[in-house]
Structure 1
Amino acid sequence: MSGRGVWLRARARLRRFPALLGGCGEQAAAYGRCVAAASAGSREVRRDGCLREFRALRECFNRAAAART
């Protein structure tokens, strides 16, 4: 069995990613600001430190992906 089909499907999904994410700019920016603030200076990023922002981004992305199918 060849893995070629798997890679073709994965590449097709990855090609759609920028367009889907483009509709979630506000959520992506909020998540980025949170991560940047959480890691400022010598501080380390903590698990679930930006969970609320990440969930908002994920929900937006899922809505965008569902609307395209």
Structure 2
Amino acid sequence: MSGRGVWQRARARFRRFPSLLAACGEQAAAYGRCVAAAGPAELRRDACLEEFRALRDCFVRAAKATPQ
């Protein structure tokens, strides 16, 4: 039994990441601003949940819209 197929699929997903990130630049920037504003010492779980969910939803929409 080989894990080759798993790694090929993972690499394919990683290759698509830059284009997905480019499609979600506004959401990524908002999430980054939220994390940066909290600072490393003050960042708490769910502090930027709204921004993270917006970024995640954008990634899902972009992934569905682009061919594999």
Structure 1 and Structure 2 fold alike (TM over 0.5): yes
The alignment's C-alpha RMSD in Å is 1.1
Deviation of the 1:54 alpha carbon: 0.3
1:36 alignment counterpart: 36
2:46 is the counterpart of 1:48: yes
2:15 is the counterpart of 1:15: yes
Please give the secondary structure, in 2, of the residue aligned with 1:39.
Answer: helix
User: Structure 1 unaligned runs (5+)?
Assistant: none
TM-score by length of 1: 0.91
Please give the secondary structure, in 2, of the residue aligned with 1:46.
Answer: coil
TM-score by length of 2: 0.92
